Amino acid sequence: MTLAIVALNVGIFICMLISPGSFSNPETLLGWGASFGPRTTNGEWWRLLTAMFVPAGVLHLVANVAGFAQLGLVTERLFGRLALANVYFAAGLVAGVLNLLLYPVGVNAGASASVFAAYGLFAAAFMSGVAFPSELSIPPTTLLKLAPGAVFFLLYSLASGFAGPAEMTGLILGLVYGCVLIKDLSVQTPPPRRVAITSAAVVFMTVAACIPQRGLADVRPEIEQLAVVEQKTSTSYDEAVRHFTNGQMTLKELVEVIDRSILPEFTAAGAKYLLSLFVADQL
């Protein structure tokens, strides 16, 4: 499962690399499945799943792969393929929903939250081994082997802003999964039924959090247009007042300029903005 996840991330990155478009262009990320509130909440909920396989750049991919590959293999041996896959995807979905709440008109992509969830799962196993030593306790030599990738991943995440609330939620989710599944490790990998029940609870909470966010509208273009119109009308008004102050324009002419050139344009832009807010509220 670890190798399959890594291969999928690298494969999509290669496809993005040889395709037109730049990683710095949000449209490129959206084209490959990144999450964007106004599109995700208007019928494209599948973006919550695909976004976790769309890297935001080369270093983003390298950091995630370096942080996940070795650790994922160790964690997979302890908890099994099913548990690791469930933690990975559940964390990605939960992080996607949280990003919709925090950054509704931001483009969200990447698997950082899922990688943090794998670290949470690993941490649960490690702490259990320390508290209750057994043949499955993680030895210090394993920690040394994992350290380079983990340090690189953590430093990059902190420096690039990929260690925010969504990622920390993924970490906590991994810890919770680990605490629920840890007691079976002494005899076998966690039973599929327990993994399924834990995952079902996460999916239920995710769906419940998505319902209030349906129909989110992007009103940024209207706000930008309103700002442009405001700047333009403000300049026209200042110029008209200056002419009136200098005696170049009568009060009647000043009022006519305001009624004819300033108010209609500003009112139209404001009405368009209010209409967009009303439509968004109705959706």
Q: Read off the pLDDT band of 184 (50, 70, 90).
A: low
61 and 54 Cβ atoms separated by less than 8 Å: no
Range with top average pLDDT, 27-36, 127-136, 192-201, 217-226? 27-36
Give the rounded percent of residues in the chain with a pLDDT score beyond 70.
72
> Could you tell me which of 41, 49, 77 has the C-alpha nearest to residue 185?
77
> How far is Cα 153 from Cα 66, in angstroms, rounded to an integer?
7
Burial of 244 (0-12, 13-18, 19+ CB in 10 A): middle
Q: What's the pLDDT score for residue 269?
A: 53
List the chain domain ranges. 2-213, 220-282
Alpha helices in 80-219 (DSSP H): 81-102, 112-131, 140-160, 165-181, 192-210
- Inform me whether the pLDDT recorded for 247 exceeds 90: no
Handedness of CA 269, 270, 271, 273 (dihedral sign): positive
> How far is Cα 236 from Cα 127, in angstroms, rounded to an integer?
68
67 and 150 Cβ atoms separated by less than 8 Å: yes
Q: Read off the pLDDT band of 186 (50, 70, 90).
A: low
2-213 folds as: Rhomboid-like fold (1.20.1540)
pTM over 0.75: no
Q: Which residues contact 25 (CB under 8 A, 6 or more apart)?
A: none
- How far is Cα of residue 44 from the mean position of the Cα atoms in its chain? 15
Q: What's the pLDDT score for residue 256?
A: 72
Q: What's the pLDDT score for residue 218?
A: 54
- Inform me whether the pLDDT recorded for 276 exceeds 50: no
- Inform me whether the pLDDT recorded for 69 exceeds 90: yes
Enclosing H/E stretch for 108: strand 107-108
Mean pLDDT for all residues in the chain: 79
